[in-house]
Structure 1
Amino acid sequence: KIPLFWKTMIQTVYDKKANCGLLRLAVPARLALKLALLALIMALFAVPLKAQENSNPSGYPLPRFASLRSEPINVRKGPGLRYEVAWVFVKEGLPVEIIQEFDTWRKIRDLDGQEGWIHQNLLSGARSGYIAPWNAEAKVPIRARANKDAKIRAWLTSKYLIKIKRCDGNFCEVSAANNSGVGRPDYSGFVEQAQIWGAYPNEIFK
């Protein structure tokens, strides 16, 4: 006996000559079955595909910031020595953002948004950054403590290069060379994290 539910999903075609009953899925039922199978296949492959998209040779998250280990450094148009040099970095310690990986090569983005490939051995995990490059008129204080009311030790202008020691999600402990030639040889203290290109908002590291 066929339950009432299945009676609505199945049509019975009776062939008198063959003296047998043939069950044929109704058109709406067949469509529903196909959609169900498609959904099942998508569910089975969704997780592996997502994992594959996020995988990278180093195992570190993407994107992430790094710095240039040496100078000069050739930035290439593709991940390999056979690719043409796009431009050359002439100063070490500059911050770059790693946005993709291929084998031992890293695709980076610089402050100006230019992208190219650098071998992993030419990059360092040491962190550096620029002060508020998005605001040419910026004057950002470097403070004695990680507090907005702490004493100001110096003012840093837009695109001032700094070394980042650690960040707590709100402030970063940094050091910066004194380019004025007056006073102490360098500055050290705390800068609001939101004012730095080289550390993500709310990123925490030591």
Structure 2
Amino acid sequence: MTKNLKNQFVGAFCAAMLLFVLAGTAFADQTRGPVTNLPLPRYVSLKASKANVRRGPSLTHRIDWVYTRRSMPLEITAEHGHWRRVRDMEGAGGWVHYSLLSGVRTVVVEQDMLPLTVRPESNTPSVAHLELGVVARLGECNADWCKISSGGYKGWAPKEVLWGVSADELRE
């Protein structure tokens, strides 16, 4: 290989690597909220017992519906100023003012009569059974199980039957 050809190859390789790094940085920036710099999407809960869900991020936008279930988990998918675009477990969404949201993590039970187990294993005793749609507070999570609490009961539930926690999310 001639020296000139080698220099061209090295130059092209360096340019390609620079583009790769810049593209990776741009992708990383897209997964962070422009206002809070927190990950997007992310889960939160409804702080208020009533929250207007609007078409856009301002008070001048039309109210599409009203959330009326305090502590309901929501997924934030976008940020604009003091507004957060959220999505609920049914896929419905809109813009909610950030003051109506809380960082306290909750989940919705997606299996009727879900057994809460003593340990994160299916063959351990149950401490309670939760009905479909129950909102529970989220505790620690390993790869497949999460510790949740509701109605004075605490126990472990399979992550796959909970809405409000990512499949790959680990919590201590």
The alignment's TM-score, normalised by the length of structure 2, stands at 0.80
Aligned counterparts of 1:53 and 1:142: Cα–Cα separation in 2: 37
Residues 1:204 and 2:170 aligned together: yes
Mapping 1:106-121, distance limit 5 Å: 106-121=84-99
Q: Distance in 2 between matches of 1:191 and 1:55?
A: 29
Paired position in structure 1 for 2:9: none
Structure 2 gap segments, 5+ residues each? 6-11
1:94 maps to 72
Identical amino acids, percent of aligned pairs? 30
SS of residue matched to 1:172: strand
**Partner Cα distance (2:169, 2:32) in 1:** 21
Shift of 1:139: 3.2
Q: What is the match of residue 167 of structure 1?
A: 141
* Higher normalized contact order (CA 8 Å, seq sep 6+, divided by chain length): 2
Structure 1 residue 192 corresponds to structure 2 residue 166: no
> Counterpart in 1 of 2:104?
126
Count residues with an aligned counterpart.
159
Post-superposition offset of 1:53: 3.1
Name the SS for the 2:160 alignment partner.
Answer: helix
Q: What is the CA deviation profile of residues 53-78 of structure 1, one whole-angstrom value per residue up to 9, with x for unaligned ones?
A: 33421111111110001121111110
Partner of 1:144: 118
Structure 1 gaps of 5+ residues are: 7-35, 178-185
**Equivalent position SS for 1:204:** coil
> Per-residue deviation at 1:43?
3.0
Aligned residue among 64, 82, 85 for 2:60: 82
The aligned counterpart of 2:30 is 53
Q: Secondary structure of 2:61's match?
A: coil
Structure 1 residue 169: deviation in Å? 2.5
| Structure 1 SS opposite 2:58 | coil
| Letter in structure 1 aligned against 2:165 | A
**Matched letter for residue 105 of structure 2:** R
Normalised by the length of structure 1, the TM-score is 0.68
Moved more, 105-114 or 42-51: 42-51
Any runs of at least 4 consecutive aligned residues in structure 1 with deviations exceeding 6 A, and if so which?
A: none
SS at match of 2:19: helix
User: RMSD of the TM alignment (CA)?
Assistant: 2.4
Once the 2 structures are TM-superposed, how far is the Cα of residue 51 of structure 1 from its aligned partner? 4.7
- State the alpha-carbon separation in 2 of the partners of residues 100 and 169 from structure 1: 26
